[in-house]
Structure 1
Amino acid sequence: MTVTSLVIALPLVIGNHPLRWESGSLKPLLVMGDSASGKGERRGSGNTVLADPKGPEPDAKPQAALKVSKQWQPGMPEWGVQVFWEDKKEHSDEYIEKKAREQADYLVGLNANSAAVSFPFYTEGRTSTKLMAGKNTPTPEHLSIVLRVFHDAGLRTTVRPIMDEAALTPPEGWRGNIKPADKTAWFTSYEMLLTPYLDAAQKEQASTFVVGTELNSMESAPGWKPLIASAEKLFKGEVAYDANWDNYVRGRIDVPINRLGVDAYFPVKVPDEASVDQLVAGWNTWLDKKTKGPLPRIILSEAGIAAMDGAYQLPGDFYTKRKTNPAVQANWYTAVCKVVEQRKMAGVYWWSIYFDSDPKAAPTDTASGLDFAGRPATEAAIRSCFGSSYAGPGTAPSP
């Protein structure tokens, strides 16, 4: 997206989801809640400047992906990364495969054993009952290519469609605040949207399919039961739901699934110089609001923070620009990993890397503060976490 006129962009925070809007209109500069960015350039939701939409010409002989040395098995921790992907229909199969191999190599180099593929789908508004694939939604065929490459690299794979927020207007402009006029019609539309992606996930042996992410206002709806039953007929892996951190600590997530993820952006009110132990204590204070002790069935489906001053107090602020502080991000990652081990959680997925980006390139001045690829201190923290001796929670019983 190119902005040619003077734009005044102001942050608006809804829950832990800041939004920004053009002055004098309700046109969003940022379209993906947790992962979007609005600058003057044409950008992806991972806040990474996009390359030529057709992509670079693929190498004549693409290199085979590196292989995970110790593949995930039930009971082991999932050490993963969220790969956010805004596909372009003009991207060739060869380009998709090349980028998937590039990202798989990077993840294996971080000692990851898991990868989640997150991508947008669309709605027409807060009360709309229509859900659809859009301009940046990958086709099931392209998704199959990525899952196949990741699987060949030995990575455990998760498929995670996320509602795009471009059509949601303030002050309720967040996916967690939708109020469809007809919930039955909404779930019918959603099932039709998900079906070909469930088929692709089954075909490519994905381990998990996330049927909903951060849909706070919909969590008690009766439509989940038939939707999940339909999904389980098509997909034989785990069917999951990812809750936002605020709803998680407030009470029961009323979605009938066996696997619950938490998008975890718990604010911790400590100075930038805080120790890792102080950060761990801050996280445990939040988790204790839900329950004390081990959490073997909980996966941190998103965790991350900006590499900048002041980020501890609002880790979900994806847009405010402050002085770069790599230690803030690295210490946060180290602390979260310790929490996963102490509470015997099922694992963590860091938010995020952008599918079309070069993960080996250092972050630019226009990159999201949450970008960790190319930040040596954070990458070292991830390798240490993923290479730890934590054996995992074991096989937890179903609820």
Structure 2
Amino acid sequence: MNRSRAAVALLLIATQLAACTRLAPSAPRRPQPAESLPEPSRSAQSAGPAVRTVSAAARATTAQLGVQIFWHGVNDPDALRANATRLLDYVVGLGANSVGITFPISVDGARPTRVYATPGVTPTPSDLRELVALARERGLRVQLRPLIDEANLKAAVAWRGSIEPRSVSGWFTSYTNLLVPFLEAAQESGADVFVIGSELDSLVRYESQWRAVVVRARTLFRGRLAYADNWGSWATGRPTVPGVEPGVDAYPKLGVDDSSSTAKITRAWTAWFGNRPADLTRTVVQEIGIAATSGAYHGPAAWPRGHETLRPDIQIRWFAGACAAARSLHLAGIYFWTLDAWADPANAAGYDVGSFIGRGDQAIKECFANGWPSR
């Protein structure tokens, strides 16, 4: 590769990396029928203070209407229960019927040889069993979702969608082995969905390796398996991971600006979702998020870290437009990104412009309150 071509390639990767920097704020089967939504645990409610539970209307909705919690660094059992109680009660209060537990896993660089859990950062399988139990006490459906952390990739100007393993077969073996205890925890705790990968653009072409992952996963977990395409890859219509429910992490640039109305944003979302018409009614939007600040529509994946002026209306219109479009097209569900594991929904003022607490959450609540059409 000559120098000019190398420079272009480096610039492209840097651009993709910049488009994938959203963090936690402070850092082919149809869905099961509504009857499969877990009933709140009676024993849990009688053992102590009343547990806040999913409404009857939310339980009756087939689509997954949820929020992603980015769960990391909670190493004390008391903190786990306190944090989970605080956040799950908030999620139920938004009118959700589902919760995603996204948790970080790691790779050893841009040319990785292995995938691993980071002690003290990645929750243990036991932690996840406890989290799922607490969510099911409230009647929530639960999606478990490992996500490759990018902390040790940025120095190489890389992101999770650009990694190129030194040995593809070796990497997939390591990846599968890493997933095994989490799949077992998902099965033991009664989770509904396990996401076997997210945004791994450079790896989706390895169809036989993914089929092997899926086969192994199905021996351990009897719930539903899913995959989340990165928004850029998803919009191209290229093949994705076979044999699982389709999903997308949606941060597209829709050609709207700060002055755009909710109606205009809804039309833009509707057009964008239309890139994959054949998959729509099976697709779950596993992530949608945006900063509540001016200019965010030009780069929804970028999470500002300075002292930008707070603009809740930016976030509210984005969420409302996406929800209206997804509902009208009968998508299988939507999850809003994100709640940090340590967040306190009672303290909206304490969070940066990436958070939806006390801002876009009003649009989330309206989205869930309006229900979802039957498919």
CA offsets 1:234-267 (integer angstroms, 9 cap, x no match): 0001111100000001122331133111000111
Other-structure match for 1:385 = 367
The aligned counterpart of 1:192 is 177
CA gap of 1:360–1:257, structure 2 versus 1, over 3 A, is farther
- 2:293 is paired with a residue whose SS is coil
Preserved contact between residue 237 and residue 276 of structure 2 (Cα < 8 Å): yes
Deviation at 1:290, TM superposition (A): 3.2
Equivalent position of 1:231 in the other structure: 217
- 2:248 is aligned with 1:262: yes
Contact 2:234 2:248 in 1 (8 A): yes
Range 98-107 or range 174-183, more displaced: 98-107
Counterpart code for 1:298: T
Partner AA of 1:159 in structure 2: L
State percent identity of aligned pairs: 33
Q: Which residue of 2 aligns with 1:309?
A: 294
Is 1:302–1:351's contact at 8 Å kept on the other side of the alignment?
yes
1:253 to 223, 236, 239: 239
Inter-partner Cα distance in structure 1 for 2:90 and 2:180: 30
Instruction: Specify which of 83, 86, 103 is matched with residue 99 of structure 1.
Output: 83
Q: Distance in 2 between the 1:15 and 1:65 partners? A: 45
Structure with greater proportional helix content: 2
Any idea what the Cα deviations from partners look like across 1:104-162, whole Å, max 9, x if unmatched?
11011100110000010111111112111103000111111111100111000000011
TM-score by length of structure 1 reads 0.80
Deviation of 1:169 after TM superposition, in Å, equals: 3.9
Contact 1:81/1:351 (<8 A) preserved = yes
What pairs with 1:311-390 in structure 2 (closer than 5 Å)? 311-319=296-304, 321=306, 322-364=308-350, 367-375=351-359, 378-390=360-372
Secondary structure at 1:223 match in 2 = helix
Q: Distance in 2 between matches of 1:333 and 1:98?
A: 28
Aligned: 1:145 with 2:130: yes
- Evaluate the alpha carbon distance shift between residue 334 and residue 254 of structure 1 in structure 2; reply closer, same or farther with a 3 A threshold: closer
Deviation at 1:18, TM superposition (A): 2.3
Q: Which residue of 2 aligns with 1:81?
A: 67
> How far does the alpha carbon of each residue in 1:32-72 deviate from its partner, in whole angstroms, 9 at most, with x for none?
x5443xxxxxxxx4325xxxxxxxxxxxx974531101376
Q: Which amino acid aligns with 1:287?
A: F
- The CA distance in 2 between the partners of 1:150 and 1:97, in whole Å, is 11
1:318–1:368 Cα contact (<8 Å) kept:
no
Shift in Å at residue 189 of structure 1?
0.6
1:330-379 CA distances to partner (integer Å, 9 max, x unpaired)? Answer: 11111111011111101110000011111221133xx332211122xx22
Q: Which amino acid aligns with 1:105?
A: D
1:174 aligns to 2:159 (yes or no): yes
Q: CA deviation at 1:75?
A: 7.0
Give the counterpart letter for 1:265 in structure 2: Y
CA contact (8 A) 2:105 2:148 kept: yes
Distance 1:35 1:86, change over 3 A: farther
1:275 to 237, 261, 280: 261
Q: Which runs of 5+ in 1 are unaligned?
A: 1-11, 20-32, 37-44, 49-60, 395-399
CA contact (8 A) 1:268 1:314 kept: no
Deviation at 1:297, TM superposition (A): 0.6
CA RMSD of aligned residues (A): 2.2
Question: Counterparts of 1:230 and 1:279 in 2: how far apart (Å)?
Answer: 41
- CA distance in 2 between counterparts of 1:301 and 1:349 reads 5
Aligned positions, number: 342
SS of the residue corresponding to residue 296 of structure 1 reads helix
Matched residue SS, 2:161: helix
Q: Which residue of 1 aligns with 2:104?
A: 120
Structure with larger RCO (C-alpha < 8 A, sep 6+): 2
Q: 1:80 to 1:13 in 2, by over 3 A?
A: farther
Aligned pairs for 1:43-82 (under 5 A) are 45-47=24-26, 63-70=49-56, 76-82=62-68
Distance 1:145 1:112, change over 3 A: same
SS in 2 for 1:175: coil
Is there any run of 5+ residues in structure 2 with no aligned partner, and where? 1-11, 28-46
The one-letter code matched in structure 2 to 1:325 is R
Distance in 1, matches of 2:129 and 2:57, equals: 20
CA drift of 1:268 comes to 2.1
Aligned-pair distance for 1:203?
0.8
